[in-house]
Structure formats: structure tokens, C-alpha cells
Structure 1
């Protein structure tokens, strides 16, 4: 009698444990889905989150760069798809950057092959402008090198201010714009966010300074994306208040081509901030995506350094090892080929006296 009751109890216990295991497994699958959606960060404006219920990790398929296997995954009934729409500024910094930049890049009035894109972001400064002198210096230093485009991004928030800068450029550089040597672009009117809603003060900076540096990041993101669709070999990041050395582009081209087989991320032809930084075209998508994640958190040159650290630095090996690794991927060219000349900053009230001591005209 006791044996029969014990057998029944044992069977019941086994069945009950199997039932509990199934319940916990289902709950775990749901928690995995919730957990993965909460930790995803907006590298693009919209992603397809693919969760296979019998897996512990999801597939993540960016909408703008669709995985070739995604079509096969969609046919499997055990997979659930959920579209994640990122709110706020990530909406206009995602697909709108891509579509607007692609549209601008394809409106090319020149059939010339562009090997280099020199990118300049500009806005009005209180009482002074350095842009036209910067452009003249760049054009004079080209020599016979002509497979280059100088892209001028007007980062003004008001349409009338954009038109004012554009008309000035048309007046002084009509032939260069007509030939396609200079291209003047600006973002759509709704590109910039509500700064009061999106920004927080950090590093002891005033709100105006945080806005200034954050806007620089957004401007550079747009310009880098535009450059990518021009399909150059190299991108040179500049500011609108610099002086170029004589025959600078021939020197850059000789140096860059000599390093064609090197695994660098960036070559610095100026040792100040974000001036004179050469990037290969294939770096632009990942770097601009990194900027899109942290555009409101740090200045542009800090984000560039963080991006490179994330590629090569191992936290467990310390700062010294990291510094050595960074030297391998950021090449510093001497003497510098660009000099910062602007005294009045685009940040109202700021005087900028920085000079590159390694510059030679």
C-alpha cells in the first residue's frame, strides 16, 4: 500500500516539476525580451529587434543596413519581430540625416571624381567672419590637385541666416560653386531639436556652451553622412577659421597614399581639436553613429578620442597601454598643415587664442 502511494506521489512530483520548469522557461523568455529592449541604445533611428524564443540572445537587424539573412529569419515561425521607434532627437538624426544627405549628395552638378572631401561647418559669428579667407586659403593651396570637393555646411537654425551666408558665398565664389569645387549645403528646417528639452548641463559648462558644443556634433554628423554619399576616398575635417599651408593637399595625398596599408583610424594634420583630421570613407558610418549616441554629452574632439579608445583600449591593461594603442591608430603628421586663426569664437563671448606651434605655412 505504502509503495503504491509513494509511486503516485513521485509521479505527481515529477509532473509538477516539469510544469514549473515550463512556466519559468516561458517567463524567462519574456524577461529576456523586456530586458533586451530596455538596454538597446539608438545607433539608428529605428531597429528591428528579432527575438527567437528558444534563444537567450536576440538578433538585432538595423533597418538601414539590413542583414542579408533577415529574409530567411522572417520565414521562421519561432521568431517575433518588433519595431522600436526611438523618440525625440533620434528620429530626425536617423533616417532624415540619411535621406537628406543622400538627396544633397546626388544633386551633384559636377561629373568630376571626388577623391577628397574637405568638410567645413560654419555659422555666423558676432561681428566677424573668417569663412571666405579660409576658402581662399584652401583653394590657393590646391595647386594642380583638382579631384577634391570643399563641402560647406551652413549650420544656421533660421532660413534667412542660411540665405545670408549662401548669398555671400555665391557672390565671392560663383565659379568654384558652378564647377562643383565648392558645394554649399544646409540641413532641413526641423533638423535641430528643442534644446531646452534635450540638453542637460555637464562638466560645469553653462547651458549656452553645452548647446554650442552639442550643435557642433549634430552639424558634423550631418556633414560626415553627406560626405559618405559623395563616395570619396578620404574626408578632411576642418573648421571655418583656418589657414592652410602651401601645397597642403599634395602633401596630404602623398602621406595618405604612403600609409595605404596601415590600419589607422585618423591622421592629424593639425594638433588642435577637430581641425585637419583625415578619415577614410569607411570609417565615417561607425564614427558618426558613435557621435549620434553621445552628441549631447561631450565636445566633438572628446567624442573622437572616446571612439578610438573604444576600438583599441583594454580597460584591464591601464592608461599606459591605452596610450600606446592610440598612437597606432591616430597618426600625427609634422609639421602641421593647418593653423587656427579665428580669435572670435562662434560661441558668443568666447575668445579663442589657441595656435598650433608645429604649423609651417
Structure 2
């Protein structure tokens, strides 16, 4: 069942890409005919498009070949597992995520909550760390009653297990109460969950290091999604260098009540993969999609592709469900990719300076001053 679903997703993606290519080709020819009807100019306009077609077809052929290899390996694995695994055991990856060994700290709640907040974290360049500010902000900007409806899952996604262990101990000491009452959990993925991250496809003129970084990030998200499947009704994606506004849970609930149209994702920040809300029932599909195409595109581009697959009737300029003002703000500068600086801020965010604790205010203001100097 899982294999057939992944193959169906693959076929839909390939069809969408071919249709998109045909539309782009038709639009380019139409534009050139209107502006420059001369035959020689039309030939000059078609030549670059033919080159794009050739490059895309090569990319599609390579992708198809890779998917066929993965299909063959999966079929062999299924046959092997069928011979060695009892019929009642599901040999899928989700079983790996569901084991108790994945959880490093935190007490799971018996009842399903309203909102799960997923926060992956890894070592950053220059040893920069923003995770404590992120967690403090979420705690400060919710009431005790609201925290009973929320589960914050901190995913220690670094391959350095010693670093993860030390960070888990630090979080456990600082937030022991929130770990004990179920508001917070800490998890770590087994290394066996990850596919090979060597010899990946080089695209967009990215360096091999960047390709490995963004490919691993896709698998990180897939693991986090699978772990969070059944914790709450909704899932919110955050990063470990984000602060929230006051009463953000109330803002999410109010916006959910206002949106009457069918939706796959709601946005509570304009930036990247921050503040994106999904129904938890959609997480497995998204996780499968990321695992299938993890080395093809960065996670934010795969997200947009996934949304178009889920809503094939959605036009490129269709309405996005973005709540303004934003509820979350990016405050980090140093990326987990060595040498990458990202001075990104959400202009639609209302800064809760008046309600921010002094330490967090100093951190955010210091980052803002450095950004201005640059």
C-alpha cells in the first residue's frame, strides 16, 4: 500500500512537470509571436526553450531511473521482510519512529492535543544557539491552560550523538517541569532512518556540501512529521531560531475559524518553512513525498510542489492562506550550513517587546543591531 502510494505520487509529479513545461513553451512562443513576428527572431526565441526542454527531459529521465531503482530495491526489501517478518508487523519506516527509544526525554500524554509544534535543531556555524530563546518565547506567550493543549517536540537532528546527549541534558535541567507534564518532548532519530547522503545529485550549481545539507534537512522533516502523526489535531512547523508573539495560540484558533475555504496549509509567517500549519492527518503523505524526492529540491520548493499535487486545481497565483500580522519571527543569523548568514525578518510580524523578558529582548535587539550594520 505504501509503495503504491509513493509510485502514484511519482506519476503525478512527472505529469505536472510535463504539463508545466508545455505551458511554459506555449507561453514563450505566444509572447514572441506578439512582439517579434519575424521568422528569424522566432527561431532565436525557440532555441533557448529547446535547450530547456532537453535539460528538463534529461532531469526527468534521471529522476525516473532513480525512482525505478528505488522501486526495485523496495520490492526486494518487501519480499525479504515478508519471508522474515510476522504478518501482523508493519515493516515501514513509521515503526522506527514510533519506538520508545526515539524519545530521549518527556512524558507522552494520554489524550490527543490540539496543536503539536515541531522544532528540529542541529549545531550551527560559529556555535550559535537560539533554541533556549525559542522555547522561552513559546512558554512565556502561552498560559498554563493553553500549554495543556500543546505538545512541543524538539528534534535533536544532529548526527553528533554526544552533542545531542549534552543538549538533551541541558534542556532537561532547564525545562524539567514541562517535560514531566507532557508539554515538551525531546526526540532523536536513529542513523539507520537516513538514506545515503553521499554522491547526491548536484543541482542549481550547489556545492556538494549544500546538497547534502538540504537533502538531510528534507529527511529530518520527514522523520519529525512521522513522529508527530498522532499527537494532536494540527501540526505547526517552527525552527530553532524563532520567537512568537503574545497569545499566538489564540491567533491560530481565530484564523482557523475565519478560513472557510478548503486548505492544505495555513501560514502564520511569510518566511520559508516557519509558522506553517497542517492537519496532522496530512503529515504521512508529506513525509512520504519528502523521502521520495529528498535530493531533488530544497524542502521549501518540495513543499510548494506538494501543495500543488494536493490541490491540482490551484493556480500559480491562487490565494494563499496567510495570517497577518504574522505570529512568529525569525531571529537567527548563523545557519547550520557553514558560512551561511541569513538576515531574514518577517516584516508582517508585530514585535512583542513590551511583554518580552529582558534576556530575550537583549538577544533579539542585539541580532537586529548586527543586521542593520551589515
TM-score, scaled to structure 2: 0.67
Which residue of structure 2 aligns with residue 27 of structure 1? Answer: none
CA distance in 1, matches of 2:152, 2:95: 21
Equivalent runs, 1:271-350 vs 2, <5 Å: 271-313=270-312, 322-325=315-318, 327=319, 330-350=320-340
Deviations 1:52-100 (A, max 9, x none): xxxxxxxxxxx9xxxxxxxxxxxxxxxxxx9499xxxxxxxx9563012
More helix by share: 2
Which residue of structure 1 aligns with residue 182 of structure 2? Answer: 180
More strand by share: 1
Q: CA deviation at 1:277?
A: 0.1
Q: CA deviation at 1:339?
A: 0.5
Q: Which runs of 4+ in 1 moved over 6 A?
A: 36-39
User: 1:153 touches 1:185 (CA, 8 Å); kept in 2?
Assistant: yes
Is 1:102 the counterpart of 2:103? The answer is no
What is the root-mean-square deviation in Å for CA atoms of aligned residues? 2.9
Which residue of structure 1 aligns with residue 345 of structure 2? Answer: 355
Q: Residue 206 and residue 246 in structure 1: after superposition, are their counterparts in 2 closer, same or farther (change >3 A)?
A: same
Q: Residue 220 and residue 253 in structure 1: after superposition, are their counterparts in 2 closer, same or farther (change >3 A)?
A: same
User: 1:43 touches 1:293 (CA, 8 Å); kept in 2?
Assistant: no
User: 2:112 touches 2:233 (CA, 8 Å); kept in 1?
Assistant: no
CA distance in 2, matches of 1:129, 1:97: 30
Which residue of structure 2 aligns with residue 209 of structure 1? Answer: 210
User: 2:219 touches 2:294 (CA, 8 Å); kept in 1?
Assistant: yes
User: 1:44 touches 1:289 (CA, 8 Å); kept in 2?
Assistant: no
Which residue of structure 1 aligns with residue 196 of structure 2? Answer: 194
CA distance in 1, matches of 2:201, 2:328: 33
Number of positions where the alignment pairs a residue of Structure 1 with one of Structure 2: 274
CA distance in 2, matches of 1:103, 1:352: 36
Q: Residue 205 and residue 37 in structure 1: after superposition, are their counterparts in 2 closer, same or farther (change >3 A)?
A: closer
Which residue of structure 2 aligns with residue 237 of structure 1? Answer: 237
Unaligned runs of 5+ residues in structure 2 are 1-63, 82-89, 352-374
Unaligned runs of 5+ residues in structure 1 are 1-35, 49-62, 64-81, 86-93, 315-320
CA distance in 1, matches of 2:163, 2:265: 33
Deviations 1:237-284 (A, max 9, x none): 00000010011111102212443x531000000010000000011211
CA distance in 1, matches of 2:95, 2:237: 22
Q: CA deviation at 1:37?
A: 11
CA distance in 2, matches of 1:121, 1:295: 17
User: 1:41 touches 1:293 (CA, 8 Å); kept in 2?
Assistant: no
Which residue of structure 1 aligns with residue 51 of structure 2? Answer: none
Greater C-alpha radius of gyration = 1
User: 1:43 touches 1:289 (CA, 8 Å); kept in 2?
Assistant: no
User: 1:242 touches 1:341 (CA, 8 Å); kept in 2?
Assistant: yes
User: 1:236 touches 1:279 (CA, 8 Å); kept in 2?
Assistant: yes
User: 1:243 touches 1:340 (CA, 8 Å); kept in 2?
Assistant: yes
Which residue of structure 1 aligns with residue 84 of structure 2? Answer: none
CA distance in 1, matches of 2:146, 2:71: 37
Is 1:127 the counterpart of 2:134? The answer is no
Deviations 1:286-310 (A, max 9, x none): 1111111111111111100011122
TM-score, scaled to structure 1: 0.69
